[in-house]
A and B are shown apart, each in its own frame.
Chain A
Amino acid sequence: MAATAEMDSLARRRSRIGTRALPYLLSLPALLVCIGVLIPFFTAVYYSLQRYRLSQPWAREMNWGETYWQLLTDPSFWNTLQVSLSYTVLTVGLQLVLGLGIALLLQKRTRLNNFVSILLLLPLMTAPALAALMWKLMTDPNFGILSYFVSLIGIEDFRWASSPDTALLTVVLVDTWVYTPFIMILLLAGLRSLPRQPFEAAALDGVPRSFVFLRITLPMLTPYILTAALFRLLESIQQFDIIYAMTQGGPGDTLMVFQVEAYLNFFQSTNVGRSAALLLILWAITFAISNLFIKNWLRLRERTHEEV
Protein backbone atom coordinates (compact mmCIF):
# COMPACT_ATOMS: atom_id res chain seq x y z
CA MET A 1 0.00 0.00 0.00
CA ALA A 2 2.66 2.45 1.10
CA ALA A 3 4.79 1.51 -1.86
CA THR A 4 2.06 2.23 -4.38
CA ALA A 5 1.31 5.58 -2.72
CA GLU A 6 4.99 6.45 -2.92
CA MET A 7 5.18 5.48 -6.56
CA ASP A 8 2.05 7.44 -7.22
CA SER A 9 3.46 10.63 -5.77
CA LEU A 10 6.74 10.01 -7.57
CA ALA A 11 4.93 9.68 -10.87
CA ARG A 12 2.93 12.80 -10.13
CA ARG A 13 6.04 14.73 -9.28
CA ARG A 14 7.76 13.53 -12.41
CA SER A 15 4.80 14.49 -14.54
CA ARG A 16 4.74 17.91 -12.90
CA ILE A 17 8.39 18.41 -13.75
CA GLY A 18 7.58 17.16 -17.23
CA THR A 19 4.79 19.70 -17.67
CA ARG A 20 6.97 22.49 -16.44
CA ALA A 21 9.81 21.63 -18.79
CA LEU A 22 7.45 20.98 -21.68
CA PRO A 23 7.01 24.56 -22.94
CA TYR A 24 10.78 25.04 -22.91
CA LEU A 25 11.27 21.81 -24.75
CA LEU A 26 8.67 22.72 -27.37
CA SER A 27 9.99 26.20 -27.93
CA LEU A 28 13.55 24.98 -28.29
CA PRO A 29 13.49 25.32 -32.11
CA ALA A 30 12.36 28.91 -31.79
CA LEU A 31 15.18 29.53 -29.34
CA LEU A 32 17.65 27.92 -31.75
CA VAL A 33 16.52 30.17 -34.58
CA CYS A 34 16.94 33.14 -32.22
CA ILE A 35 20.49 32.06 -31.50
CA GLY A 36 21.05 31.38 -35.18
CA VAL A 37 20.07 34.97 -35.88
CA LEU A 38 21.80 36.62 -32.95
CA ILE A 39 25.23 35.01 -33.54
CA PRO A 40 25.53 36.30 -37.13
CA PHE A 41 24.17 39.64 -35.98
CA PHE A 42 26.85 40.14 -33.35
CA THR A 43 29.45 38.78 -35.75
CA ALA A 44 28.39 41.52 -38.16
CA VAL A 45 28.74 44.10 -35.39
CA TYR A 46 32.24 42.75 -34.72
CA TYR A 47 33.18 42.85 -38.43
CA SER A 48 31.91 46.39 -38.76
CA LEU A 49 34.37 47.51 -36.10
CA GLN A 50 37.29 46.06 -38.03
CA ARG A 51 39.31 46.85 -41.08
CA TYR A 52 38.51 43.56 -42.79
CA ARG A 53 38.98 42.73 -46.43
CA LEU A 54 38.87 39.10 -47.56
CA SER A 55 41.60 39.88 -50.08
CA GLN A 56 43.92 41.28 -47.40
CA PRO A 57 43.60 38.97 -44.41
CA TRP A 58 46.95 40.09 -43.05
CA ALA A 59 45.73 43.69 -42.66
CA ARG A 60 42.74 42.65 -40.55
CA GLU A 61 42.60 44.59 -37.30
CA MET A 62 40.19 46.37 -35.01
CA ASN A 63 39.68 49.97 -36.03
CA TRP A 64 36.64 50.56 -33.81
CA GLY A 65 34.35 53.18 -35.31
CA GLU A 66 36.59 54.18 -38.17
CA THR A 67 34.63 52.28 -40.83
CA TYR A 68 31.48 54.15 -39.84
CA TRP A 69 33.32 57.45 -39.91
CA GLN A 70 34.66 56.69 -43.38
CA LEU A 71 31.15 55.85 -44.51
CA LEU A 72 29.67 59.08 -43.21
CA THR A 73 32.29 61.14 -45.03
CA ASP A 74 31.93 59.17 -48.27
CA PRO A 75 29.60 60.73 -50.88
CA SER A 76 28.71 57.24 -52.18
CA PHE A 77 27.13 56.45 -48.79
CA TRP A 78 24.93 59.53 -49.04
CA ASN A 79 24.00 58.49 -52.55
CA THR A 80 23.00 55.07 -51.20
CA LEU A 81 20.89 56.64 -48.47
CA GLN A 82 19.25 59.01 -50.91
CA VAL A 83 18.47 56.31 -53.50
CA SER A 84 17.06 53.99 -50.81
CA LEU A 85 14.86 56.71 -49.39
CA SER A 86 13.61 57.85 -52.82
CA TYR A 87 12.82 54.28 -53.74
CA THR A 88 10.97 53.73 -50.47
CA VAL A 89 8.95 56.93 -50.56
CA LEU A 90 8.02 56.48 -54.22
CA THR A 91 7.01 52.83 -53.97
CA VAL A 92 5.10 53.06 -50.71
CA GLY A 93 3.36 56.30 -51.69
CA LEU A 94 2.31 55.03 -55.08
CA GLN A 95 1.20 51.66 -53.72
CA LEU A 96 -0.85 53.20 -50.92
CA VAL A 97 -2.77 55.44 -53.30
CA LEU A 98 -3.29 52.66 -55.85
CA GLY A 99 -4.02 50.01 -53.24
CA LEU A 100 -6.62 52.16 -51.50
CA GLY A 101 -8.20 53.11 -54.82
CA ILE A 102 -8.48 49.50 -55.94
CA ALA A 103 -9.78 48.37 -52.54
CA LEU A 104 -12.54 51.01 -52.72
CA LEU A 105 -13.31 49.93 -56.26
CA LEU A 106 -13.68 46.29 -55.24
CA GLN A 107 -15.35 46.91 -51.89
CA LYS A 108 -18.75 45.44 -52.73
CA ARG A 109 -18.87 41.66 -52.61
CA THR A 110 -19.96 40.96 -56.14
CA ARG A 111 -18.83 37.98 -58.12
CA LEU A 112 -16.81 40.15 -60.51
CA ASN A 113 -15.04 41.96 -57.67
CA ASN A 114 -14.12 38.71 -55.94
CA PHE A 115 -12.77 37.33 -59.19
CA VAL A 116 -10.68 40.44 -59.82
CA SER A 117 -9.26 40.40 -56.30
CA ILE A 118 -8.17 36.78 -56.82
CA LEU A 119 -6.52 37.73 -60.11
CA LEU A 120 -4.62 40.50 -58.36
CA LEU A 121 -3.02 37.91 -56.06
CA LEU A 122 -0.97 36.64 -58.98
CA PRO A 123 1.64 39.43 -59.17
CA LEU A 124 2.08 39.20 -55.41
CA MET A 125 2.81 35.48 -55.71
CA THR A 126 5.44 36.05 -58.38
CA ALA A 127 8.99 35.99 -57.04
CA PRO A 128 10.22 39.61 -57.13
CA ALA A 129 13.46 38.57 -58.84
CA LEU A 130 11.46 36.81 -61.56
CA ALA A 131 9.08 39.75 -61.85
CA ALA A 132 12.09 41.93 -62.58
CA LEU A 133 13.13 39.52 -65.35
CA MET A 134 9.62 39.63 -66.82
CA TRP A 135 9.73 43.41 -66.97
CA LYS A 136 13.25 43.25 -68.37
CA LEU A 137 11.89 41.20 -71.27
CA MET A 138 9.01 43.64 -71.74
CA THR A 139 11.27 46.71 -71.73
CA ASP A 140 13.93 45.33 -74.06
CA PRO A 141 14.88 48.00 -76.62
CA ASN A 142 14.62 45.52 -79.52
CA PHE A 143 11.43 43.60 -78.93
CA GLY A 144 10.01 44.78 -75.61
CA ILE A 145 6.28 45.33 -75.83
CA LEU A 146 6.41 48.29 -73.46
CA SER A 147 9.15 49.94 -75.51
CA TYR A 148 6.85 49.49 -78.48
CA PHE A 149 3.86 51.02 -76.65
CA VAL A 150 5.96 53.98 -75.61
CA SER A 151 7.16 54.50 -79.19
CA LEU A 152 3.50 54.49 -80.30
CA ILE A 153 2.83 57.62 -78.25
CA GLY A 154 5.81 59.28 -79.84
CA ILE A 155 8.61 58.70 -77.35
CA GLU A 156 11.45 57.16 -79.31
CA ASP A 157 14.42 55.52 -77.67
CA PHE A 158 12.98 55.27 -74.18
CA ARG A 159 15.61 53.18 -72.44
CA TRP A 160 13.88 52.16 -69.20
CA ALA A 161 16.29 50.58 -66.70
CA SER A 162 19.39 51.13 -68.82
CA SER A 163 19.20 54.91 -68.68
CA PRO A 164 20.10 56.73 -65.44
CA ASP A 165 17.12 59.05 -65.95
CA THR A 166 14.46 56.35 -66.01
CA ALA A 167 16.08 53.45 -64.09
CA LEU A 168 14.48 54.41 -60.78
CA LEU A 169 11.10 54.82 -62.42
CA THR A 170 11.38 51.36 -63.98
CA VAL A 171 12.19 49.49 -60.77
CA VAL A 172 9.53 51.47 -58.89
CA LEU A 173 7.08 50.28 -61.52
CA VAL A 174 8.09 46.63 -61.02
CA ASP A 175 7.84 47.00 -57.24
CA THR A 176 4.40 48.58 -57.65
CA TRP A 177 3.31 45.74 -59.88
CA VAL A 178 4.34 43.14 -57.32
CA TYR A 179 3.32 44.76 -54.05
CA THR A 180 0.25 46.94 -54.67
CA PRO A 181 -1.97 43.84 -54.30
CA PHE A 182 -0.60 43.35 -50.80
CA ILE A 183 -1.84 46.75 -49.69
CA MET A 184 -5.07 46.21 -51.58
CA ILE A 185 -5.77 42.91 -49.77
CA LEU A 186 -5.14 44.41 -46.36
CA LEU A 187 -7.24 47.50 -46.99
CA LEU A 188 -10.02 45.49 -48.61
CA ALA A 189 -10.19 43.28 -45.53
CA GLY A 190 -10.22 46.44 -43.43
CA LEU A 191 -12.94 48.11 -45.48
CA ARG A 192 -15.17 45.07 -45.35
CA SER A 193 -14.82 44.79 -41.59
CA LEU A 194 -15.94 48.36 -40.88
CA PRO A 195 -19.27 48.69 -39.04
CA ARG A 196 -22.19 49.68 -41.26
CA GLN A 197 -24.17 52.04 -39.08
CA PRO A 198 -22.16 55.23 -39.70
CA PHE A 199 -22.43 54.73 -43.45
CA GLU A 200 -26.15 54.01 -43.34
CA ALA A 201 -26.74 57.06 -41.18
CA ALA A 202 -24.73 59.25 -43.53
CA ALA A 203 -26.65 57.90 -46.55
CA LEU A 204 -29.99 58.67 -44.82
CA ASP A 205 -28.87 62.21 -44.10
CA GLY A 206 -27.76 62.67 -47.68
CA VAL A 207 -24.17 63.49 -46.69
CA PRO A 208 -22.00 64.00 -49.80
CA ARG A 209 -19.78 61.06 -50.64
CA SER A 210 -16.50 62.99 -50.52
CA PHE A 211 -17.39 63.95 -46.96
CA VAL A 212 -18.20 60.35 -46.04
CA PHE A 213 -14.86 59.23 -47.46
CA LEU A 214 -12.76 61.88 -45.72
CA ARG A 215 -14.56 61.95 -42.37
CA ILE A 216 -15.75 58.38 -41.90
CA THR A 217 -13.98 55.89 -44.16
CA LEU A 218 -10.44 57.25 -43.91
CA PRO A 219 -10.32 57.76 -40.13
CA MET A 220 -11.78 54.31 -39.50
CA LEU A 221 -9.39 52.74 -41.96
CA THR A 222 -6.31 54.51 -40.57
CA PRO A 223 -5.01 51.62 -38.42
CA TYR A 224 -5.11 49.34 -41.45
CA ILE A 225 -3.43 51.92 -43.67
CA LEU A 226 -0.73 52.42 -41.06
CA THR A 227 -0.08 48.71 -40.70
CA ALA A 228 0.14 48.24 -44.45
CA ALA A 229 2.34 51.30 -44.94
CA LEU A 230 4.80 50.42 -42.18
CA PHE A 231 5.04 46.84 -43.41
CA ARG A 232 5.81 47.98 -46.92
CA LEU A 233 8.24 50.66 -45.69
CA LEU A 234 10.24 47.97 -43.93
CA GLU A 235 10.47 45.80 -47.02
CA SER A 236 10.94 48.60 -49.47
CA ILE A 237 13.93 50.22 -47.81
CA GLN A 238 15.63 46.82 -47.92
CA GLN A 239 14.69 45.97 -51.48
CA PHE A 240 17.33 43.80 -53.10
CA ASP A 241 15.79 41.20 -55.42
CA ILE A 242 14.10 43.50 -57.93
CA ILE A 243 16.98 45.95 -58.21
CA TYR A 244 19.70 43.32 -58.31
CA ALA A 245 17.89 41.23 -60.93
CA MET A 246 17.12 44.29 -63.03
CA THR A 247 20.41 46.24 -63.08
CA GLN A 248 22.66 45.10 -60.19
CA GLY A 249 22.49 48.67 -58.88
CA GLY A 250 23.37 50.32 -62.17
CA PRO A 251 23.61 52.11 -64.48
CA GLY A 252 26.58 53.58 -62.61
CA ASP A 253 25.41 54.04 -59.06
CA THR A 254 21.86 55.13 -59.94
CA LEU A 255 20.19 52.28 -58.05
CA MET A 256 22.80 51.53 -55.37
CA VAL A 257 20.40 50.90 -52.51
CA PHE A 258 21.69 49.66 -49.14
CA GLN A 259 21.58 45.91 -49.62
CA VAL A 260 22.85 45.96 -53.21
CA GLU A 261 25.75 48.19 -52.17
CA ALA A 262 26.51 45.91 -49.20
CA TYR A 263 26.34 42.79 -51.39
CA LEU A 264 28.73 44.24 -53.96
CA ASN A 265 31.05 45.49 -51.21
CA PHE A 266 31.20 41.97 -49.82
CA PHE A 267 31.62 39.97 -53.02
CA GLN A 268 33.25 42.37 -55.48
CA SER A 269 35.53 44.50 -53.36
CA THR A 270 35.56 41.85 -50.57
CA ASN A 271 35.34 44.66 -48.04
CA VAL A 272 33.59 42.77 -45.25
CA GLY A 273 33.96 45.58 -42.71
CA ARG A 274 32.32 48.22 -44.88
CA SER A 275 29.57 45.82 -45.95
CA ALA A 276 28.75 44.98 -42.33
CA ALA A 277 28.71 48.65 -41.31
CA LEU A 278 26.33 49.50 -44.16
CA LEU A 279 23.98 46.69 -43.19
CA LEU A 280 24.01 47.73 -39.54
CA ILE A 281 23.07 51.29 -40.42
CA LEU A 282 20.21 49.88 -42.48
CA TRP A 283 19.31 47.62 -39.57
CA ALA A 284 19.15 50.61 -37.20
CA ILE A 285 16.72 52.34 -39.55
CA THR A 286 14.53 49.27 -39.93
CA PHE A 287 14.64 48.57 -36.20
CA ALA A 288 13.19 51.99 -35.49
CA ILE A 289 10.42 51.51 -38.06
CA SER A 290 9.72 47.92 -37.00
CA ASN A 291 9.23 48.91 -33.37
CA LEU A 292 6.59 51.34 -34.52
CA PHE A 293 5.09 48.69 -36.73
CA ILE A 294 5.00 45.95 -34.12
CA LYS A 295 3.34 48.22 -31.56
CA ASN A 296 0.74 49.33 -34.08
CA TRP A 297 0.14 45.82 -35.35
CA LEU A 298 -0.28 44.30 -31.89
CA ARG A 299 -2.81 47.01 -31.03
CA LEU A 300 -4.78 46.32 -34.19
CA ARG A 301 -4.63 42.60 -33.50
CA GLU A 302 -5.85 43.03 -29.95
CA ARG A 303 -8.75 45.16 -31.11
CA THR A 304 -9.93 42.73 -33.75
CA HIS A 305 -9.64 39.90 -31.25
CA GLU A 306 -11.81 41.78 -28.78
CA GLU A 307 -14.44 42.35 -31.40
CA VAL A 308 -14.64 38.67 -32.27
Chain B
Amino acid sequence: MEHTSTAERILRGIAIGAVVLFFIFPIFWILLMSFQTNETILRNPPSIAFVPTISNYVALLTGRLETAAGTLDISFMQNLKNSVILSVSSVAVALLLGVPAAYAFARHRFRGSEDIAFTLLSFRFAPPLLIVLPLALYFQDVGLADTYIGLIWVYQLICLPLILWIVRGYFEDIPADVEYAYRIAGHSWFATFRKIALPLAGPGIAAAGLLAFIFAWNNFVFALVLGSADKQPVTVGALAFVTASGIQFGQIAAAIVLSIAPTLALAIYAQRYLVEGLSLGAVKG
Protein backbone atom coordinates (compact mmCIF):
# COMPACT_ATOMS: atom_id res chain seq x y z
CA MET B 1 0.00 0.00 0.00
CA GLU B 2 2.70 2.44 0.98
CA HIS B 3 4.67 3.95 -1.86
CA THR B 4 8.31 4.47 -1.19
CA SER B 5 10.42 5.98 -3.88
CA THR B 6 13.96 4.84 -4.51
CA ALA B 7 15.29 8.19 -3.34
CA GLU B 8 13.49 7.81 -0.06
CA ARG B 9 14.76 4.30 0.41
CA ILE B 10 18.32 5.45 -0.17
CA LEU B 11 17.91 8.34 2.31
CA ARG B 12 16.49 5.93 4.85
CA GLY B 13 19.44 3.60 4.34
CA ILE B 14 21.91 6.43 4.81
CA ALA B 15 20.14 7.58 7.97
CA ILE B 16 20.17 4.08 9.47
CA GLY B 17 23.83 3.72 8.50
CA ALA B 18 24.69 7.00 10.25
CA VAL B 19 22.81 5.92 13.38
CA VAL B 20 24.61 2.58 13.53
CA LEU B 21 27.96 4.28 12.92
CA PHE B 22 27.48 6.80 15.73
CA PHE B 23 26.35 4.23 18.30
CA ILE B 24 28.61 1.33 17.41
CA PHE B 25 31.81 3.02 16.32
CA PRO B 26 33.10 3.83 19.85
CA ILE B 27 32.76 0.19 20.94
CA PHE B 28 34.37 -1.03 17.73
CA TRP B 29 37.26 1.44 18.04
CA ILE B 30 38.04 0.63 21.68
CA LEU B 31 37.95 -3.08 20.78
CA LEU B 32 40.52 -2.42 18.03
CA MET B 33 42.68 -0.39 20.41
CA SER B 34 42.72 -3.21 22.93
CA PHE B 35 44.55 -5.42 20.40
CA GLN B 36 47.22 -2.84 19.62
CA THR B 37 50.51 -1.86 21.14
CA ASN B 38 51.14 1.71 22.15
CA GLU B 39 53.26 2.26 19.04
CA THR B 40 50.42 1.43 16.65
CA ILE B 41 47.91 3.38 18.75
CA LEU B 42 50.07 6.49 18.62
CA ARG B 43 50.54 6.41 14.83
CA ASN B 44 49.55 9.53 12.97
CA PRO B 45 47.43 9.34 10.88
CA PRO B 46 45.58 6.51 12.65
CA SER B 47 44.98 3.38 10.62
CA ILE B 48 43.03 0.19 11.08
CA ALA B 49 45.85 -1.88 9.60
CA PHE B 50 47.93 -3.43 12.39
CA VAL B 51 49.20 -6.74 13.62
CA PRO B 52 46.87 -7.71 16.48
CA THR B 53 48.45 -8.55 19.80
CA ILE B 54 46.95 -10.03 22.93
CA SER B 55 49.72 -8.64 25.13
CA ASN B 56 47.35 -6.10 26.72
CA TYR B 57 45.00 -8.84 27.88
CA VAL B 58 47.90 -10.97 29.06
CA ALA B 59 49.21 -8.07 31.12
CA LEU B 60 45.80 -7.59 32.72
CA LEU B 61 45.26 -11.29 33.38
CA THR B 62 48.69 -11.85 34.93
CA GLY B 63 48.51 -8.55 36.77
CA ARG B 64 52.01 -7.55 35.72
CA LEU B 65 52.77 -4.72 33.39
CA GLU B 66 56.26 -4.39 31.93
CA THR B 67 57.02 -0.78 31.19
CA ALA B 68 60.19 1.09 30.37
CA ALA B 69 60.23 2.37 33.94
CA GLY B 70 59.97 -1.15 35.41
CA THR B 71 57.21 -3.56 36.39
CA LEU B 72 53.87 -2.29 37.51
CA ASP B 73 51.37 -4.38 39.44
CA ILE B 74 47.80 -4.10 38.24
CA SER B 75 44.92 -5.21 40.40
CA PHE B 76 42.38 -5.05 37.62
CA MET B 77 41.47 -8.72 37.95
CA GLN B 78 40.55 -8.03 41.56
CA ASN B 79 38.18 -5.30 40.34
CA LEU B 80 36.60 -7.70 37.90
CA LYS B 81 36.17 -10.27 40.66
CA ASN B 82 34.62 -7.62 42.91
CA SER B 83 32.15 -6.65 40.19
CA VAL B 84 31.04 -10.28 39.88
CA ILE B 85 30.75 -10.77 43.65
CA LEU B 86 28.87 -7.52 44.22
CA SER B 87 26.44 -7.77 41.30
CA VAL B 88 25.61 -11.46 41.63
CA SER B 89 25.05 -11.42 45.37
CA SER B 90 23.14 -8.14 45.26
CA VAL B 91 20.72 -9.48 42.68
CA ALA B 92 20.38 -12.81 44.51
CA VAL B 93 19.54 -11.05 47.77
CA ALA B 94 17.20 -8.63 46.02
CA LEU B 95 15.31 -11.46 44.27
CA LEU B 96 15.06 -13.52 47.45
CA LEU B 97 13.62 -10.62 49.42
CA GLY B 98 11.96 -8.65 46.65
CA VAL B 99 9.85 -11.24 44.84
CA PRO B 100 7.80 -12.31 47.91
CA ALA B 101 7.44 -8.65 48.87
CA ALA B 102 6.24 -7.80 45.38
CA TYR B 103 3.69 -10.60 45.71
CA ALA B 104 2.48 -9.20 49.00
CA PHE B 105 2.10 -5.75 47.45
CA ALA B 106 0.24 -7.12 44.46
CA ARG B 107 -2.15 -9.41 46.35
CA HIS B 108 -2.84 -7.70 49.64
CA ARG B 109 -3.94 -4.18 50.31
CA PHE B 110 -2.67 -3.73 53.82
CA ARG B 111 -2.12 -0.71 55.97
CA GLY B 112 0.93 1.27 54.92
CA SER B 113 1.56 -0.74 51.76
CA GLU B 114 0.99 2.20 49.46
CA ASP B 115 3.16 4.42 51.66
CA ILE B 116 6.03 1.95 51.45
CA ALA B 117 5.63 1.56 47.71
CA PHE B 118 5.50 5.29 47.16
CA THR B 119 8.50 6.03 49.38
CA LEU B 120 10.53 3.45 47.52
CA LEU B 121 9.49 4.81 44.16
CA SER B 122 10.11 8.44 44.99
CA PHE B 123 13.54 7.73 46.46
CA ARG B 124 14.37 5.74 43.37
CA PHE B 125 14.87 9.18 41.83
CA ALA B 126 16.61 10.89 44.75
CA PRO B 127 20.26 11.87 44.30
CA PRO B 128 22.26 8.76 45.30
CA LEU B 129 24.89 10.82 47.10
CA LEU B 130 22.20 12.22 49.40
CA ILE B 131 21.78 8.70 50.81
CA VAL B 132 25.31 7.42 50.42
CA LEU B 133 27.31 10.24 52.00
CA PRO B 134 25.54 10.07 55.39
CA LEU B 135 25.70 6.26 55.12
CA ALA B 136 29.46 6.52 54.66
CA LEU B 137 29.76 8.23 58.05
CA TYR B 138 27.45 5.67 59.69
CA PHE B 139 29.30 2.78 58.08
CA GLN B 140 32.57 3.98 59.53
CA ASP B 141 31.01 3.97 63.00
CA VAL B 142 29.60 0.46 62.76
CA GLY B 143 32.49 -1.11 60.85
CA LEU B 144 30.60 -1.76 57.62
CA ALA B 145 32.78 0.62 55.65
CA ASP B 146 34.76 -1.14 52.95
CA THR B 147 33.14 -4.57 53.37
CA TYR B 148 31.30 -6.62 50.76
CA ILE B 149 28.33 -6.91 53.10
CA GLY B 150 28.05 -3.16 53.51
CA LEU B 151 28.26 -2.64 49.75
CA ILE B 152 25.73 -5.38 48.94
CA TRP B 153 23.43 -3.79 51.49
CA VAL B 154 23.73 -0.42 49.76
CA TYR B 155 23.24 -2.02 46.34
CA GLN B 156 19.81 -3.08 47.58
CA LEU B 157 18.85 0.57 47.32
CA ILE B 158 18.84 0.20 43.56
CA CYS B 159 18.14 -3.52 43.09
CA LEU B 160 15.22 -4.04 45.47
CA PRO B 161 12.95 -1.18 44.36
CA LEU B 162 13.55 -2.14 40.74
CA ILE B 163 12.52 -5.74 41.36
CA LEU B 164 9.61 -4.77 43.57
CA TRP B 165 8.09 -2.45 41.01
CA ILE B 166 8.55 -4.54 37.91
CA VAL B 167 7.59 -7.87 39.47
CA ARG B 168 4.61 -6.35 41.26
CA GLY B 169 3.16 -5.35 37.89
CA TYR B 170 3.52 -8.92 36.62
CA PHE B 171 1.88 -10.42 39.69
CA GLU B 172 -1.00 -7.98 39.33
CA ASP B 173 -1.58 -9.24 35.79
CA ILE B 174 -2.23 -12.77 37.01
CA PRO B 175 -5.98 -13.17 37.56
CA ALA B 176 -6.62 -13.70 41.27
CA ASP B 177 -9.26 -16.34 40.39
CA VAL B 178 -6.62 -18.74 39.14
CA GLU B 179 -4.84 -18.66 42.47
CA TYR B 180 -8.09 -18.78 44.39
CA ALA B 181 -9.19 -21.91 42.55
CA TYR B 182 -5.90 -23.60 43.39
CA ARG B 183 -6.25 -22.69 47.06
CA ILE B 184 -9.84 -23.97 47.19
CA ALA B 185 -8.45 -27.29 45.98
CA GLY B 186 -6.71 -27.46 49.33
CA HIS B 187 -3.26 -26.19 48.58
CA SER B 188 -1.39 -24.00 50.99
CA TRP B 189 -0.57 -20.37 50.45
CA PHE B 190 3.05 -21.21 49.82
CA ALA B 191 2.22 -23.92 47.27
CA THR B 192 0.02 -21.45 45.40
CA PHE B 193 2.80 -18.89 45.34
CA ARG B 194 5.37 -21.44 44.19
CA LYS B 195 3.30 -23.44 41.70
CA ILE B 196 1.03 -20.76 40.21
CA ALA B 197 2.23 -17.22 40.80
CA LEU B 198 5.98 -17.73 40.38
CA PRO B 199 5.88 -19.55 37.02
CA LEU B 200 3.31 -17.13 35.58
CA ALA B 201 5.39 -14.11 36.59
CA GLY B 202 8.57 -15.84 35.44
CA PRO B 203 9.36 -13.58 32.46
CA GLY B 204 8.86 -10.50 34.60
CA ILE B 205 11.14 -11.83 37.30
CA ALA B 206 13.78 -12.65 34.69
CA ALA B 207 13.53 -9.17 33.20
CA ALA B 208 13.75 -7.51 36.59
CA GLY B 209 16.68 -9.67 37.70
CA LEU B 210 18.55 -9.00 34.48
CA LEU B 211 18.01 -5.28 34.71
CA ALA B 212 19.00 -5.23 38.38
CA PHE B 213 22.22 -7.08 37.50
CA ILE B 214 23.09 -4.55 34.82
CA PHE B 215 22.33 -1.59 37.07
CA ALA B 216 24.45 -3.11 39.83
CA TRP B 217 27.32 -3.90 37.47
CA ASN B 218 27.28 -0.42 35.97
CA ASN B 219 27.01 1.38 39.28
CA PHE B 220 29.84 3.76 39.97
CA VAL B 221 29.03 6.03 42.86
CA PHE B 222 28.36 3.54 45.68
CA ALA B 223 31.75 1.87 45.60
CA LEU B 224 33.50 5.15 44.85
CA VAL B 225 32.25 6.46 48.18
CA LEU B 226 32.08 3.29 50.29
CA GLY B 227 34.81 0.97 49.03
CA SER B 228 38.58 1.10 49.04
CA ALA B 229 40.77 -0.18 46.21
CA ASP B 230 40.49 -3.89 47.05
CA LYS B 231 36.67 -3.85 47.16
CA GLN B 232 35.99 -1.65 44.17
CA PRO B 233 34.27 -2.94 41.01
CA VAL B 234 35.45 -2.35 37.45
CA THR B 235 33.69 0.99 37.00
CA VAL B 236 35.73 2.60 39.76
CA GLY B 237 38.77 0.40 39.17
CA ALA B 238 39.09 1.37 35.51
CA LEU B 239 39.17 5.05 36.43
CA ALA B 240 41.86 4.44 39.03
CA PHE B 241 43.72 2.33 36.49
CA VAL B 242 43.78 5.23 34.03
CA THR B 243 45.33 7.48 36.65
CA ALA B 244 47.83 4.85 37.78
CA SER B 245 49.05 3.47 34.47
CA GLY B 246 48.97 6.83 32.72
CA ILE B 247 49.99 6.14 29.18
CA GLN B 248 49.34 2.41 28.75
CA PHE B 249 46.49 3.08 26.35
CA GLY B 250 46.26 -0.46 25.02
CA GLN B 251 45.79 -1.88 28.50
CA ILE B 252 43.23 0.78 29.35
CA ALA B 253 41.25 -0.17 26.24
CA ALA B 254 41.52 -3.87 27.11
CA ALA B 255 40.34 -3.16 30.66
CA ILE B 256 37.34 -1.28 29.30
CA VAL B 257 36.52 -4.15 26.93
CA LEU B 258 36.65 -6.70 29.77
CA SER B 259 34.49 -4.43 31.93
CA ILE B 260 31.71 -3.85 29.44
CA ALA B 261 31.72 -7.30 27.85
CA PRO B 262 29.47 -9.01 30.46
CA THR B 263 26.62 -6.50 30.25
CA LEU B 264 26.82 -6.23 26.47
CA ALA B 265 26.74 -10.02 26.11
CA LEU B 266 23.74 -10.21 28.44
CA ALA B 267 22.02 -7.47 26.46
CA ILE B 268 22.31 -9.36 23.21
CA TYR B 269 21.46 -12.70 24.75
CA ALA B 270 18.32 -11.47 26.50
CA GLN B 271 17.32 -8.38 24.59
CA ARG B 272 13.61 -9.15 24.62
CA TYR B 273 13.45 -9.34 28.43
CA LEU B 274 15.57 -6.25 28.63
CA VAL B 275 13.31 -4.13 26.50
CA GLU B 276 10.36 -5.22 28.60
CA GLY B 277 12.14 -4.40 31.81
CA LEU B 278 13.41 -1.05 30.56
CA SER B 279 9.99 0.21 29.70
CA LEU B 280 9.18 -0.55 33.36
CA GLY B 281 6.13 -2.50 32.41
CA ALA B 282 4.63 0.77 31.25
CA VAL B 283 4.29 -0.26 27.66
CA LYS B 284 3.81 -3.98 27.86
CA GLY B 285 2.35 -5.31 24.66
Contacts and interface: CB of A to CB of B under 8 A. Distances in A.
B101 interface: yes
A224 interface: yes
Contacts of A154: none
Interface in A248-292: 258-259, 262-263, 266, 272, 275-276, 279-280, 282-283, 286-287, 289-291
B283 A193 contact: yes
A276 B127 CA distance: 11
Interface in B108-125: 108, 110, 113, 116-125
Contacts of B281: 301
Interface in A118-158: 118-131, 133-138, 140, 142-143, 145, 148
Contacts of B30: 134, 137-138
B4 to A, nearest CB: 10
Contact of A44 (B20, B130, B275, B285): B130
Interface string B262-285: 011011100100110011111111
B260 A19 contact: no
B285 A37 contact: no
A235 to B, nearest CB: 8
Nearest to B110: A23
Contacts of A40: 130-135, 138
Given A126-B260, A301-B169, A118 B268 contact: yes
Contacts of B125: 234, 286-287, 289-290, 293
Contact of B101 (A30, A44, A272): A30
Interface string B1-25: 1100000000010011001101110
Tell which of B130, B217, B279, B284 has the most Cβ of chain A within 10 Å. B130
A interface: dominant SS: helix
Contact of A133 (B113, B225, B256, B267): B256
Interface string A11-27: 00000000100111011
Given A41-B130, A240-B220, A186 B279 contact: yes
B130 A282 contact: yes
A185 B282 CA distance: 12
B104 A105 contact: no
A60 B121 CA distance: 34
Interface stretch (B55-63, B70-78, B153-161, B197-205): B153-161
A143 B249 contact: yes
A224 B110 contact: no
Contacts of B44: 143, 148
Nearest to B41: A143
A137 B238 contact: no
A127 B235 contact: yes
Contacts of A297: 280, 282
B105 interface: yes
A300 B282 contact: yes
B65 interface: no
A234 B121 CA distance: 13
Contacts of B20: 116, 119-120
A38 interface: yes
A68 interface: no
B284 A304 contact: yes
A36 to B, nearest CB: 7
A122 B264 contact: yes
Nearest to B22: A177
A67 B131 CA distance: 19
A130 B249 contact: no
A95 interface: no
24 contacts: A26-B103, A27-B101, A28-B101, A30-B164, A40-B133, A44-B134, A118-B271, A126-B27, A129-B236, A130-B235, A130-B259, A134-B256, A137-B30, A143-B249, A177-B23, A185-B279, A189-B275, A190-B283, A238-B127, A280-B130, A287-B125, A289-B125, A290-B124, A300-B282
10 tightest A-B CB contacts, nearest first: A29-B97, A127-B218, A26-B104, A23-B108, A40-B134, A43-B134, A129-B220, A290-B125, A23-B104, A279-B130
Given A33-B120, A125-B267, 12 more contacts: A26-B104, A30-B116, A37-B120, A44-B134, A121-B268, A125-B264, A127-B259, A134-B256, A143-B46, A186-B282, A203-B1, A258-B127
